[in-house]
Every structure is written in C-alpha cells, then in structure tokens.
Structure 1
Amino acid sequence: MSRPSAVPPPPPPPARRASRSLIPAPRHHLPAAPPRHAVAVGAVLLLGALLIGLVIAVSERPSFQGIDDRWAASLHSARGGALTGFAGVLDRLGGPLGTVLPLGLIGCLCVYGRWRSGLFAFTAGIVTNVLVVIPLKRFVDRPRPPHPWVLVTDGSFPSGQVFSAVTLVFVVGVLVFPPRARRWWWLFAALYVAVMMFSRTWLHAQWLSDTVAGALAGAGSCMLLWRAFEPLLRTEAERVAADSLWL
C-alpha cells in the first residue's frame, strides 16, 4: 500500500496594495507645532513691550533712562571703521530689505504649494508691522538719541528693525528647518537678533530699551500668531508628511 502524498498548502492570497489613506503618516515636523504655553508666553512678551512703551509715554524721564544714557555714552567712538560699516549693512538689511526678504520667503513657500505657511509668514512678517509697530511709534512718540549716524524717521520706540529681525528668524525657524537643524537655527537667530540690537544702538539710531521692546513685541506677536495658525499649519504638516511618504 503506497503512502499518500502530502497535500501542498494553499497558496497565500495575493498581497493587496495598501491604500494610501490606510498608511499612517510619519510624525510631521514641517511646519513645527507650537508649544503648549504659546499663548501665555506670547501674551507676557507682548505685554512687556507695551508696558515699556506705557512707562515712556506717561513719564517725562522713565526710570530706565539712566541705563539707556549710560549704554549710549559707552558706545561713543569714531564714526568710521569696520564696525560702523557692518552696522550700516544691518541697517539696510532691516530697512528696505526687511520687507524684501519676507516677501521672497512667502513667494518660495507658495511656489511649493505651501500657501498656509505663506499666509502665516505674511501675517507675522508684514501685517504685524502695520498693526503693532506703527501704532506703538505714534502712541509713544519717543525722540531718537541725539545725532544718529544713519537716516531715521520719527519715533524711536519700538525698534522696527529689531522687530522685523525677530519675526523673520522666527518664521524661518518654524516653517523651513526640521527639528534637528532647528535647534542650531535658534542659536543663530538669537545671535543675529542680539547683533541687530547692538547695531541700532551703535549707530545712535535707538535707545537700548527701544531694541529690547522691539524684540519682545516681535517674539510675542509671533508666538500668538503661531498658536492662531496652528490648525492651518497642522493640516499642511500632515500633507507634507504624506507626500514625503510616497516620494
């Protein structure tokens, strides 16, 4: 009697092509998500700038004017030199180019279909200048330091160049860099803003407190807008992550 042959197992069912909608998207990182306390931090920073402006507006001589005077006196030096030339470059970078650079970033984002990020960049970099800086300048109406080395307009408080520098580096950090590179970008951003603040006082274009208020107002405005745009930026981040999965 012959031994029965083993019955071969049935062939496995053909593999189904996974649906794109069923594949979990990887953790997104562009644009970055705002921190939990973005609203509280942004409100404190912005209120700090407003408080400095209010003290200047209601006082003939603010309590911190002595610090401003001593800082300005310590920077008296020869008008020429490499440091003055470098500060002049930053003055032009924060002036006319302060609008060109954000507009260039917005255009690049829109070209790549990231119109939500472009809208955030436009609001943070352009609209806030109109809604925050210009009204504060008119309300406080602080005179400039005597004998500035560059062409300036009326209203020293707050520093519009420092405000623009903060909003630019903030927007770039949130929208452009992935997490690992973003850590290094924040270090560069802090250094760039500090150098911009120094250059404004070196040129006798603004008081030290003007630059501090400009940095606070710029960072506070961006933090609040980051939270306000969070739903749009989250949707875009999910799209970016899904698209990168299928490249």
Structure 2
Amino acid sequence: MANEQTAEPAVTGPRPIIAGAVALAAFAVLAAAFVAGAGLPAYQAVDTAVTAEALTTRTAALTPIALLLHHVGEWPGTGVLVAAVAVPLLAARRWSAALLVAGSWLVTSAVLVPLLKDVFDRVRPAEQLVPMDSPAFPSGHAAFAAVLGMALVAVVPRHRGWVLAGALVWTALMAWSRIYLGVHWLSDTVAGALLGWGVGLLAWGIVDRRGTRGGGTGPGEPPAGRPGGR
C-alpha cells in the first residue's frame, strides 16, 4: 500500500504530443532562418563566436572525452545503446515500449537526419579534430542523444524527474562534444536536440499506453497489480 501511495503518477493525455509539436516547431524556426539567410542565418555570428571560444578550451583531458562521445554517437555505438534499452523491454514483454525506443531512433537517425542534412547542405566549421565532410545541419549525434534520452523518460516511469535530468545532461554533453571537436555549429546541435526531442515526445504520445489511467506506469506497462502483459 505504501508503494502505491508514493508511486509517481503517469503522464497522461496529449501533453507529450503537445510538447513534441512545440519542439518540432522550434526546429522549424531555426531551419527557416537558415533558408531565409541563404546559408548564412541571422544566428551565424553566435555560431561563429561559440566555435571560436570552444577552440580555446581544448585540453589533453577534455579531448578524449569528446572523442569517446563521438564514437558512442555513431554506428555501431548507437545500435549498442538502443539495444541495451530495447532488449530488456522485450524480455519484460513491454512490446510497445521497445517499439517506441527502436522506432523513434530509426525515424530520427536513419530517416530524418540524413534527409534534412541533404536538404540544408550546411558547411561544417573548419577547425575539426575529427575530419567530417557531410552536411552539418542538424547534428545527428545531438538528435540521437535527444531521442534516446526522451525515449528513456517515456519508458522508465519510476523517478521520471531524475531520468529526465539525466537525459538532458546526456544530450547537453553530446552537443558540447560536437562543438568542442569543431564538427558542428551551436545551432546544428540545438536543431538536432529539438528534432530528437520532438520525435521522441510524439512517439510517446502516439504509442499505445495501455492501462495508464488504470494504474499502468508507462508505455507498454501493464496496470498496477497485474503480473504481466497480454
């Protein structure tokens, strides 16, 4: 009984969808500014200043951390992290939760990011520690970190506030590493994060959240007191 009284309430209703729509709308604003500036958006001066400042912070201690995040945020590191989240959900027979994690990742990293990079074709900064010649906008690493983090918030109902804080820190660290390595502008990472959050939140709102109002605690989670899924 004590556990029932202290359990965190599940997020219900259209709130994830609304938040996801807001995140995608903010992404659209950044994208529109880029198009309106013909590749030199109004925020380019800020991007340039942040990149210049990042160059002055490079140290022998920070560079290995940024490089580690670089490798974690690209294939096959992304696949390993997604599997680490999705496989336990499958083992627990939380089918829709596993679908949310894997599906939102694929939509973001395999479909939207490559498509949008080709559409905007933004040139990366020049001072790169990891040479990359693909388009910059949006950051695929930041988008991956954001969508995986938001998927975790959706499927881990206990202590959701702490999970959200961890997800935000994880996304911020990934964004920092991209700017530190000189492979992305600040706005690339912000756009990537907004895209990942938007997709993750929309997936959260759309995926079947059976039993939430009856005591379930997250996507694919059976109502409280029931030992298993269908």
Q: Which position in structure 2 is the counterpart of 1:73?
A: 52
The more displaced of 214-223 and 203-212 is: 214-223
Structure 2 residue corresponding to 1:125, chosen from 76, 95, 105: 105
Indicate conservation of the 8 Å contact 1:43/1:224, yes or no. Answer: yes
Find out whether 1:99 has 2:71 as its counterpart. Answer: no
Measure how far apart 1:239 and its partner are.
4.8
TM-score relative to the length of structure 1: 0.78
Given residue 49 of structure 1, which amino acid in structure 2 is its aligned partner? F
Task: Flag structure 1 segments of 5+ consecutive residues without an equivalent.
Answer: 1-25
Structure 2 residue corresponding to 1:148, chosen from 128, 133, 154: 128
Structure 1 residue corresponding to 2:190, chosen from 212, 217, 222: 212
Indicate conservation of the 8 Å contact 1:31/1:117, yes or no. Answer: no
Separation of aligned partners in 2, 1:132 and 1:150: 23
> SS at 2:102's partner residue?
helix
Given residue 52 of structure 1, which amino acid in structure 2 is its aligned partner? L
Measure how far apart 1:93 and its partner are.
1.0
Q: After TM superposition, where is structure 1 displaced by more than 6 Å over at least 4 residues in a row?
A: none
Tell which has more relative contact order, 1 or 2 (C-alpha 8 A, sep 6+). 1
Separation of aligned partners in 1, 2:35 and 2:180: 24
Q: Which position in structure 2 is the counterpart of 1:51?
A: 29
Give the aligned length.
Answer: 216
The more displaced of 207-216 and 53-62 is: 53-62
The more displaced of 96-105 and 206-215 is: 96-105
Q: Which position in structure 2 is the counterpart of 1:20?
A: none
Measure how far apart 1:221 and its partner are.
1.1
Q: Mark the CA change 1:240 to 1:134 in structure 2 (over 3 Å): closer, same or farther.
A: farther
Find out whether 1:237 has 2:216 as its counterpart. Answer: no
Indicate conservation of the 8 Å contact 1:138/1:155, yes or no. Answer: yes
Measure how far apart 1:233 and its partner are.
7.5
Separation of aligned partners in 1, 2:162 and 2:85: 20
Same amino acid, percent of matched pairs: 29
Indicate conservation of the 8 Å contact 2:17/2:205, yes or no. Answer: yes
Task: Flag structure 2 segments of 5+ consecutive residues without an equivalent.
Answer: none
Structure 2 residue corresponding to 1:221, chosen from 174, 199, 218: 199
Measure how far apart 1:200 and its partner are.
0.7
Separation of aligned partners in 1, 2:177 and 2:145: 12
Find out whether 1:165 has 2:145 as its counterpart. Answer: yes
Q: Mark the CA change 1:75 to 1:229 in structure 2 (over 3 Å): closer, same or farther.
A: same
Per-residue Cα deviation, 1:194-224 (whole angstroms, up to 9, x for no partner):
1211111010010000000011111111111
Separation of aligned partners in 1, 2:221 and 2:8: 5
CA RMSD in angstroms comes to 2.5
Given residue 21 of structure 2, which amino acid in structure 1 is its aligned partner? A
Separation of aligned partners in 1, 2:190 and 2:99: 27
Alignment of 1:106-121 (within 5 A): 106-121=86-101
Per-residue Cα deviation, 1:15-56 (whole angstroms, up to 9, x for no partner):
xxxxxxxxxxx69x7995445432222112112112312322
Separation of aligned partners in 1, 2:187 and 2:28: 12
Separation of aligned partners in 1, 2:120 and 2:211: 35
Q: Mark the CA change 1:174 to 1:63 in structure 2 (over 3 Å): closer, same or farther.
A: same
Separation of aligned partners in 1, 2:57 and 2:179: 14
Q: Mark the CA change 1:78 to 1:238 in structure 2 (over 3 Å): closer, same or farther.
A: closer
The structure with the larger Rg is 1
